[in-house]
A and B are shown apart, each in its own frame.
Chain A
């Protein structure tokens, strides 16, 4: 995957946390991702299509997602319920939208799919055979989380 596709998503995550979660998201590491999700986590997944296609995921440990959703919505979040999953879907939608706007400056228009949210542990999230997941680890005052991107032409 061309690394130029990573920065728009990293910037978009930063924008989201800064404006709607009132905190900084600090980039920690960038690596190739292990497709197996080892811990109890919430994954917001969204697809992009067009001249550039692929998938974006925001992966939150449960403690982080509950704090993030509380900050995002202003409402208490004590358990992963439909309010939390709806919020995660919107978070990944906003990240993808922000990145799309940055990418569209350089490429032809892309479209974004409806987001999906997955909860669980011990499952495997595989990329298509032509793609490689790149994982960006973030830290924030709400806790750690990951961004995964796989994009290509």
Chain B
């Protein structure tokens, strides 16, 4: 399963990618803004997206809506400093499957990814066939 990590901060992309190694998610591609994210999901099969909100060129919420408008249903988790309840609701109504607020502990990222993939009926890498996350 290929995972897309979207954040304008190289540091944050590295941190999130490192968190996912705990789940043996190692096939990871990066995008630095929403426009790159929309292009990436159209260019290759992406099974999971972790998306920042505030980015130049195209924000994460705009990219989320654009991806859903393309009828793409892969799980998308917002990873952002936008912590207000209204923002969380806006993201969920726009099609996000889950939400992680920065700052975060790596265990919280792992748990949110596991929870999201379980709900979507997607197996983690290395899981026996037929078993979900």
Contact = CB atoms under 8 A, between A and B. Distances in A.
Tell me if B's interface is mostly helix, strand, loop or mixed.
loop
A93 interface: yes
Interface residues of B, number: 18
Interface in A67-82: 72-75
| Band of interface residues on A | 20 to 34
Interface stretch (A29-37, A97-105, A130-138): A97-105
Contact of B103 (A19, A74, A89, A112): A19
Interface string B39-70: 00000000000000010100000000000000
B119 interface: no
Contacts, number: 54
B58 to A, nearest CB: 14
B18 A74 contact: yes
Contacts of A27: none
A101 B11 contact: no
Tell me if A's interface is mostly helix, strand, loop or mixed.
helix
B83 A94 contact: no
Contact of B14 (A73, A100, A101): A73
B125 to A, nearest CB: 21
Interface of B: 9-12, 14-15, 18, 54, 56, 80-84, 102-105
